[in-house]
Amino acid sequence: MSVESQDAKGLGFFERYLTLWVLLCIGGGILLGKVAPQVARSLDGMALVVDGAPVVSIPIAIALFFMMYPIMVKIDFGEVVQAGRSVKPVTLTLVVNWLIKPFTMYGISLLFLGVLFRQFIGPEAMDLVKLPLGLDLPVGATYGSGTVVLSEGLKMLEVPLWRSYLAGCILLGIAPCTAMVLVWGYLARGNDGHTLVMVAINSLTMLVLYGVLGGFLLGVGRLPVPWQALLLSITVYVALPLLAGFVSRKWIIAAKGKIWFEQKFLHLLTPVTIIALLLTLILLFSFKGEVILDNPLTILWIAVPLFLQTVLIFGITYVAASRMGLSYRDAAPSAMIGASNHFEVAIATAVMLFGLSSGAALATVVGVLIEVPVMLMLVGICKRTTHWFPGET
């Protein structure tokens, strides 16, 4: 098997303790926000501004690109052709990821954040998010569920805080995992080849469906639908690293050989994604520290629907795979891919669309916080239920 599966041979140092690093970065970000708030605000101020609204935070854009490139360069697109030999597991994964998961995420998040937990979040609590790219409305104008206001000299959209959290959950729901799922699939003793093929297919499918589903569900949620920024985020955070990974992979293999590429180059890239992610989290929480300290249950309100969504999608896919007669080695990674989220893209899009200090960005970060412990729990469930599938004992 190629390095893509070899790279998943267990959890590395950064991945193994990802939850710990996330917690430390949350603490570090909150501390930074209290001790030196001007540092994070200065970095966020280094942004591209269009029509008076900050669109791209340059430091965050750089960090988020480095999250994505190591993932994309691992993909051997020549293996996508093999997907035709395993039509049923590929079809199941695509149906769950793109026809079921986005809508269950919306429904569950709306139920908990907009109804059950709304009183706890604060029915009158508001959040400031960026105006959609290219939209120039006067102060006081309404757009969706928000109102245009002037904040620190910039036009921003003031929306209900729970709707901002909902937006972050939506962005997680439309971003199937294409990174850590390699690890989860291996630990569950799944088919590494199928996992790799689905990583490649999902990366390509996101180029088309991520913006479409994101725009539709954000619009249903009465939140700003910044189509231009959605397309820009897909270009910057999916298409650009995908292209960079494809070109550099071919060039390095041609120049140094596949063995050097797999054993040396990819080894050097292993911690890059996690390090870039953790640096971004410090900035994110430096802005949200005050909200968390004022209401420490904020993380819990967001985590509950994300946890339920993860377990539900895993259950749907895993049971469907059993009923379809799939082998365990195909069923396990199919369920893992559906359950886990591509939190790098979700964070990147939330930051670009709504701002570094938005509730949407915070919600995507909560997705990172629960990812590792929940997925390890699901790996354990898979390993204890192999007897559900043909030929397994």
The model's pLDDT over 251-288, given as tens digits with 9 standing for 90+, comes to 999 999 989 998 889 888 877 877 877 887 777 677 66
Is the pLDDT reported for residue 60 higher than 60?
A: yes
Report which of 283, 294, 299, 284 is spatially closest to residue 366, judged by C-alpha positions: 299
Identify the weakest region by mean pLDDT among 130-134, 135-139, 155-159, 355-359.
Answer: 130-134
In percent, the amount of the chain with pLDDT more than 90 equals: 21
- Most confidently modeled range among 46-55, 168-177, 184-193: 168-177
pLDDT band at 9 (very low <50, low <70, confident <90, very high): very low
The pLDDT of residue 4 is: 41
The pLDDT of residue 345 is: 75
pLDDT band at 6 (very low <50, low <70, confident <90, very high): very low
- Most confidently modeled range among 13-22, 49-58, 115-124: 115-124
Identify the weakest region by mean pLDDT among 87-91, 124-128, 153-157, 368-372.
Answer: 368-372
The pLDDT of residue 82 is: 59
Average pLDDT over residues 126-130: 84
The pLDDT of residue 371 is: 79
Identify the weakest region by mean pLDDT among 29-38, 131-140, 230-239, 377-386.
Answer: 230-239
212, 215, 257, 274, 377 from 184: Cα distances, Å: 28, 30, 28, 16, 10
Ramachandran region, residue 184 (left: φ > 0; alpha: ψ -120 to 50; beta: rest): alpha
Q: What is the C-alpha to C-alpha distance for residues 126 and 116, in angstroms, rounded to an integer? A: 18
The pTM is what? 0.72
Identify the weakest region by mean pLDDT among 97-101, 176-180, 234-238, 330-334.
Answer: 234-238
Identify the weakest region by mean pLDDT among 83-87, 127-131, 186-190, 217-221.
Answer: 83-87
Buried b (16+ CB within 10 A) or exposed e, 265-284: bbeeeeeebbebbbbbbbbb
296 against 55, higher pLDDT: 296
Query: Is residue 153 packed enough to be buried (19+ CB in 10 Å), middle (13-18) or exposed (0-12)?
Result: exposed
> Which residues of the chain form beta strands (DSSP E)?
47-50, 53-57, 126-130, 142-143, 146-151, 154-160
pLDDT band at 90 (very low <50, low <70, confident <90, very high): confident
The pLDDT of residue 112 is: 96
The pLDDT of residue 12 is: 60
Average pLDDT over residues 3-19: 54
pLDDT band at 230 (very low <50, low <70, confident <90, very high): low
The pLDDT of residue 3 is: 37
Pick the CATH number of 3-124+161-388 from 3.30.200.20, 1.20.140.10, 1.20.1260.10, 1.20.1530.20: 1.20.1530.20
14 against 157, higher pLDDT: 157
